[in-house]
Chains A and B, each alone.
Chain A
Amino acid sequence: TQLLEQSPQFLSIQEGENLTVYCNSSSVFSSLQWYRQEPGEGPVLLVTVVTGGEVKKLKRLTFQFGDARKDSSLHITAAQPGDTGLYLCAGVGQAGTALIFGKGTTLSVSS
């Protein structure tokens, strides 16, 4: 069974700080996706990375896929209260089955 481990589980920071969330696995994933979920809503796709070593930027968010396609990171620069939410990484395994999710990182940004 392919598993995705996310760290940290909880993160509470002040507005303006930088942070990094990690997503790791012992298995190779053909792609990884990052989602953000707000209370009472479903997860919303932020980005998909498919190539080892790929870096994608979405405004203040930078996503990286590890060279070996076993890990990914999400870096947020100058966090804002609007970044508060649950961040989930998800991957499609080699068998091409449905997305497998990590357990999530709950981010709280206070002003």
Chain B
Amino acid sequence: DTAVSQTPKYLVTQMGNDKSIKCEQNLGHDTMYWYKQDSKKFLKIMFSYNNKELIINETVPNRFSPKSPDKAHLNLHINSLELGDSAVYFCASSQGSRRFYGYTFGSGTRLTVV
């Protein structure tokens, strides 16, 4: 049973389109995150939610909008996709936001904008 699952695994779309990525965790964790991994494998935090509330919103274009309907789900909607949005997006969860909790990551969504 997958702990953090993301769908879809691959997403190829044209510039200007709107797309969503879904994430679900069955670990009972309180905190969920979206990270972006660029072509050089650098992982950068985008958003963090704790118990459905947004607690971190890094410098991300407002075309990106996270939504957390409940603490087990964190979806990412992207409007007006641009070429530079091409990357691998990872969802992750942790038991809390304290320093010693490890993160459990999903297997990623590879987004390609053409």
Contacts and interface: CB of A to CB of B under 8 A. Distances in A.
Contacts of A101: 42-44
Contacts of A44: 105
Contacts, number: 58
Nearest to B6: A42
B102 A98 contact: no
- Of the listed residues A43, A50, A100, A106, the one surrounded by the most CB atoms of chain B closer than 10 A to its CB is A43
Interface residues of B, number: 23
Nearest to A49: B100
Interface string A30-65: 110100010011111100101000000000000000
A100 B103 CA distance: 12
Contacts of B90: 42-43
Which range holds the interface residue count of chain A? Answer: 20 to 34
B45 A99 contact: yes
Given A48-B100, A98-B97, A103 B108 contact: no
Nearest to A105: B41
A97 B42 CA distance: 18
26 contacts: A31-B100, A33-B103, A37-B41, A40-B108, A41-B108, A42-B4, A42-B92, A42-B105, A42-B108, A43-B90, A43-B105, A45-B104, A48-B102, A50-B100, A90-B43, A92-B98, A96-B97, A96-B98, A96-B99, A97-B48, A97-B97, A98-B56, A98-B97, A101-B43, A104-B41, A104-B42
Interface of B: 4, 33, 40-45, 48, 56, 90, 92, 97-100, 102-108
Interface of A: 30-31, 33, 37, 40-45, 48, 50, 86, 88, 90, 92, 96-101, 103-104, 106
